[in-house]
Amino acid sequence: MIRFEQVSKRYPGDIAALSDLTLAIESGEMVILSGHSGAGKSTLLKLIPAIERPTQGAVVVNGQNVSALKRAAVPFLRRNLGMIFQDQKLLHDRNVFENVMLPLTIAGVPPRDAGRRVRAALDKVGLLEREKAMPIALSGGEQQRLSIARAVVARPSILIADEPTAHLDDDTARDIVAVFRSFNQVGVTVLVATHHEALFAPCMTRRVTLSHGRLAP
Amino acid sequence: MRGWLLHHRKAAGQAVRRLAATPVSTLLGALVVGIALALPAGGKMLLTNFQSFAQHMAATPQLSVFMATEAGKKEASDVESRLRRHAQVREVRPVPREETLQRFKTSESLGNVIASLPRNPFPDAFIVVPRNEVPATLEAMRADFAKYPGVEHVQLDSAWVKKLDALLRLTRLAITLLAAVLGMALIAITFNTIRLQILTQGAEIEVSRLLGATDAFIHRPFYYFGALQGLAGGVVAWLAVLGATLLLRGPVAELASLYGIDFFLHVLPLADSALLLGLAALLGWLGAWLSLWRHLLD
């Protein structure tokens, strides 16, 4: 489903973020990506939606080489991916409902269907009764759940999350882990970068560790 | 097709909301654009009016024959009968000096000045309509009439119509140049407004891109924004020209009537109004396009 084939990524100034990385993630897997700060976790995740392009090698998602994708094709790749960002990237001038609606508006889903799907997504993360709230009025855990609802509302087959439990207390973080697990149980491929790998231990998932841009043994 | 319409409706709605969110700057923007457009639009309105007037005049060339002010009634009637006998003359309309005086006396603005004069400053005059409009014949008639005793001045009205026509052509060119310069100003204004909008909507643009929005999706509301701002400016300009037309109509008609001309200032014709609004929207759109091209396509 996702394959990294001898991928290297260098940033200007000759900083190597990833070196000769080869990795395959199968459909329906839940993979925890761990490693020290600066090990290349975020870079690896950014290569999948073509936010970054590899300097060498190929990144293949659903049989499509995204590293060679034309600019105009990138939006359609991203619509099939659910992304949760380290800084959440919520729109603070829109309420909970409107934030989750955005991916469906972009995809051109008719408003009536879209409204139903937004409520279904909010229900899954337990935010249904807060649909009119502004993001600023939500707690840290609720904000994270909101960003998960936005990531899954378009029913992507792949869910990518970068440090989704950062800045959350342990109980709240465990809630978030459970939400990811429930999506994985219904067949969604989940890839989570975290340095809280212990929190995900109960999920009995595959763990991939990065060290200085390479797979650690 | 339905999805496409939906996207456009959303984008237009979003543009309207963004305009409504900052009513003061929207209003000021519309005023700036409106004033810039009102100048060429007002010029065009005046030009159209004078052009139709000039055409009307050119269609019937006339000769005005003015008697000397010290000439008496006898000489005036002699000249009139000679004019009537002239082979090339179709019609003679006498304009007695008393009538001219009366007409000016009833004028609001000039009445007092005229009344204070010790004697009638106007001469007897005749308006002569020729049988044909060949310039050489008209010129010959003018030379003939000037030799009649008591005639001080003969004016060939087609000559000033020609001059007026040349002047109007020059004015038209000047208005076109003015419109081009101010059109560029409109593009520059929109360019800058859209740049500020892009900065304000930075977070939304970034998030939309990450969620799979195409360039078209992101750009569309800005195009609508630019076009709507231009259109609002066009409406302001149109209203300004309409107001000016209605205010000027009375005084202009009065001035014209003093020259014995029936002149009615018309509002901007429908085609010109549509052109003004269409062009304003188009230039706004163009400003948005330039701004997006400069600020969003990396």
Find, among B137, B129, B122, the residue nearest to B66 by Cα.
B122
Which residue do the tokens 């969003």 mark?
B296
Q: Within this chain, do residues A56 and A124 fall inside the same structural domain, yes or no?
A: no
> Are residues A73 and A168 located together in one domain of the fold?
yes
B10 or A61, greater pLDDT: A61
Contact A150 B211 (CB under 8 A): yes
Indicate yes or no: CB of B211 within 8 angstroms of CB of A76: no
Q: Which chain B residues touch A108 with a CB distance below 8 Å?
A: 3, 6-7
Same domain, A141 and A169: no
Residue A85, domain member (yes or no):
no
**Does any domain span residue A87?**
no
Give the domain extent around A106: 92-150
ipTM: 0.91
Given pLDDT bands bounded at 50, 70 and 90, which one contains residue B54? confident
Smallest CA–CA distance, residue B204 to chain A, in Å, is: 7
Q: How far apart are CA B73 and CA B182, in angstroms?
A: 58
Q: Do A132 and A170 belong to one domain?
A: no
A91-132, pLDDT tens digit by residue? Answer: 999 999 999 999 999 998 988 899 999 999 999 889 999 999
Q: Which residues of B touch A72 (CB under 8 A)?
A: 214-215
Q: Which of A76, A90, A92 sits opposite B212 (nearest CB)?
A: A76
> What would the pLDDT profile of B139-152 be if each residue is shown by its tens digit?
888 888 888 888 88
Give the CATH number for residue A175: 3.40.50.300
Q: For chain B, which residues make up each domain, given as ranges?
A: 2-58+162-295, 62-132
Task: Nearest by CB to B213, from A72, A106, A150: name it.
Answer: A106
Residue A54 in domain: yes
Reported pTM? 0.76
> How many structural domains are present in chain A?
2
CB contacts of A107 in chain B (<8 Å) are 212
Residues 6 or more apart whose CB falls under 8 angstroms from that of B245 comprise B45, B265, B266, B267, B268
My answer on whether A38 and A136 are in the same domain is no
CB burial string A18-51: b at 16+ within 10 A, e below: bbebebebeeebbbbbbbeeebbbbbbbbbbbbb
Asked if A106 and B215 come within 8 Å (Cβ–Cβ), the reply is no
Q: For residue range B64-91, list pLDDT tens digits in order.
A: 889 888 888 888 888 888 888 888 888 8
B62-132 is classed CATH 3.30.70.3040: yes
**Three-state DSSP string of B227-276:** HHHHHHHHHHHHHHHHHHHHHHHHHHHHHHHHCCCCCCCCCCCHHHHHHH
Q: What does DSSP assign to residue A199?
A: G
Are residue A121 and residue A191 in the same domain, yes or no?
no
Answer yes or no: do A137 and A173 share one domain.
no
Across chain A, what does the average pLDDT equal?
91
pLDDT reported for residue B57: 67
A133 within some domain: yes
**B217 close to B4: Cβ distance less than 8 angstroms:** no
> Shortest CB distance from B212 goes to which of A75, A85, A89?
A75
Do A59 and A117 have their domain in common? no
Do residue B214 and residue A91 have CB atoms under 8 angstroms apart?
no
List residues of chain B with CB under 8 Å from any CB of chain A: 2-3, 6-7, 10, 203-204, 206-215, 217
Whether the pLDDT of residue B275 is over 90: the answer is yes
Within a domain: residue A49? yes
pLDDT band with cut points at 50, 70 and 90 for residue B159: low
Q: Give the closest residue to B38 by CA, choosing from B223, B235, B225, B204.
A: B235
Judged by CB atoms closer than 8 Å, whether chains meet at A91 and B212 is answered as no
CA pair distance B286, A115, nearest whole angstrom: 35
* A166 in the same domain as A143: no
3-state secondary structure of B132: coil
A68 and A7 both lie in a single domain: yes
Query: CB–CB of A180/A173 below 8 Å?
Result: no
Q: Classify the C-alpha dihedral B173-B174-B175-B179 as positive or negative.
A: positive
Contact A75 B207 (CB under 8 A): no
Is the pLDDT reported for residue B193 higher than 80? yes
